[in-house]
Structure 1
Amino acid sequence: MPAWAPGPAVTALADLPYARALTAQDRDPLDGDDHEHASWEGGSWDRVDAGGTRFADTAVSGMTVTGGDFGRSRWHDSWIGRSRWIGTDLTQVDLRDVTVVGCALTATGMSGATWRRVHLVECRIESVNLKFATLTDVLFDRCELTDVDFGGLKATRVRFPGSTVSRLRLNDTTLTDVDFRGARSLDVTGDVTSLRGAVVDAAQLADLAPALAVGLGLRVE
């Protein structure tokens, strides 16, 4: 199957095709809520309990999300821009047809998450747990990934153009048509043999050679 190729990312809430249908919200989402054509802008969610909440055709802009529980929440056909997520529980979150622009995710738990057709642009992703997640048709466009845990993760048709990938942790990771070519840097830790199924360029292969030699038990004399 050819690589998923999303169009140019929308960078402002007002430019969304459904912007005129959005209704601004003045309260936090709650556990089990069902939100459609809703928007939140320029506020904060502090230790919000919104596990299992559904977001469809929604927009989140300029928000600061600290702690809280968004586990098992579903985000479909939604847009998240210029927001910060710090220490938030997003276990088993379901992202489908979601665009994430200029966001920062720090110390966020997303184990068991499912991402499908997710476009991330100029995002900073640090110390995020994606263990046992499933990523399909995902584009990390000019992002910074640092200390992200891909242990047990399954990824299909994922790309990293213009991105910096530092200390990406791999263990029992399954990669299919994952393309690291075009990434500004690629640094992995853990079981580097889990890169099986990925595509790298010649320069990246040279950088990975020492770790691959160790992982394969090769001696270079």
Structure 2
Amino acid sequence: MTTSARYGRDAAIEALLSAAARLRWAIGSARQLILALGEAAGADRLADQVDRLANRAQRWLVTEPPQPLREIGGLVGRVTRRGRRGPGLAADHAALVDLDLDGLDLARISLCGANLTEVTLRGADCSAADASSSRWLRCRLEHGSLRMAVLAGATLERCDLSRARLDGTSWHRAVLAGCTLHGATLTDARLDRAELTDCDLRGANLAIVRSPHVATLAGARFVRCDLRDTHWGGRELGGASFIDCKLFGARGAPALAGVSIERPDLSRLGDGSQIATQSDVIAAW
């Protein structure tokens, strides 16, 4: 990067931070206005409108970097150098809110302990990311890649990972609730002691390509999950529990010794019209 380009970039960042400071002042003024409205006619409605605007503006400041300007400039430079494979970005314990990161190359990014809310990563490459103990709420990762990523101890709620590349991921002790993984690739994914509740995994591929001992399901719990047409080839399901799950079309002839299956739904439509037994599932699987 030339000297003039670097100065231009730093000036742009400085202007952004200055704008952020002015925005903070505007938010403070707006909230003072709310207090000053008092008992005026329509005060409640106006206060609600102003407060919503202030809160929306505040969302843009949640991720403002606290580093000095020089460090911020270095981070921007690393993000904008496309096609180069440097060290992954570090966003440990960051609070990321309402960000559009679609299609970005974020391979090896570190998100340990981070909180992500309404972040979109559709088509983004987050392969080999370390997202241990992170929390994800209403995030969208359709067609994205988290290949070989570590999500041990992570919590995901109402996230969309439809057709995402999740092969080789580690979900040890992770908790997923109300998430969509329709058509996702979870080959060789480690799910030991993970808990998935009310998740949609229709058509997902959970087969084993390498050794089942590397990608174990021991202690995993699937509760009220839609597992229709999933593929389990080569898996050992011993120690895993399936409770009130939809299992029509599940295939792959996995090893079923030691598995626990309670009240499985084998109806084609998943409408509960064919509640079966564990023996029925084993015979069909």
Q: Which category of TM-score, normalised to the shorter sequence, fits these structures?
A: 0.7 to 0.9
The alignment's C-alpha RMSD in Å is 3.3
Q: Does 1:170 align with 2:235?
A: no
Sort the Cα spacing of 1:41 and 1:84 in 2 relative to 1 into closer, same or farther, 3 A.
same
Partner residue of 2:253? Answer: 197
Equivalent pair of 1:169/1:188 in contact (CA under 8 Å) = no
Q: Does 1:99 align with 2:150?
A: yes
Equivalent pair of 2:263/2:277 in contact (CA under 8 Å) = no
**Residue 83 of structure 1: which of 126, 130, 134 is its match?**
134
Q: Answer 1 or 2: higher relative contact order, Cα 8 Å, separation at least 6.
A: 1
* More helix by percentage: 2
Post-superposition offset of 1:200: 2.1
| Total equivalences in the alignment | 193
**Residue 123 of structure 2: which of 69, 72, 75 is its match?**
72
Sort the Cα spacing of 1:179 and 1:203 in 2 relative to 1 into closer, same or farther, 3 A.
closer
* More strand by percentage: 1
* Identical pairs, percent: 20
| CA distance in 2: counterparts of 1:112 and 1:80, whole angstroms | 19
Look at both structures and tell me which one has the larger radius of gyration over its CA atoms: 2
Partner residue of 2:217? Answer: 160
Q: Does 1:151 align with 2:202?
A: yes
Q: Which amino acid aligns with 2:276?
A: A
More displaced stretch, 98-107 vs 53-62 = 53-62
| CA distance in 2: counterparts of 1:165 and 1:201, whole angstroms | 17
Q: Which amino acid aligns with 1:59?
A: S
The aligned runs of 1:178-197 (5 Å cut-off) are: 178-183=235-240, 185-197=241-253
Sort the Cα spacing of 1:161 and 1:191 in 2 relative to 1 into closer, same or farther, 3 A.
closer
Partner residue of 1:16? Answer: none
Runs of 4 or more off by more than 6 Å in structure 1?
23-27, 29-35, 213-216
User: CA-to-partner distance for each residue in 1:133-153, whole Å, 9 max, x for gaps?
Assistant: 111110012211111111122
**Residue 54 of structure 1: which of 99, 105, 110 is its match?**
105
Provide the secondary structure at the position in 1 that maps to 2:126.
Answer: strand
* TM-score normalised to structure 2 length: 0.58
Sort the Cα spacing of 1:193 and 1:31 in 2 relative to 1 into closer, same or farther, 3 A.
farther
The unaligned stretches of length 5 or more in structure 2 are: 1-70, 209-214, 266-274
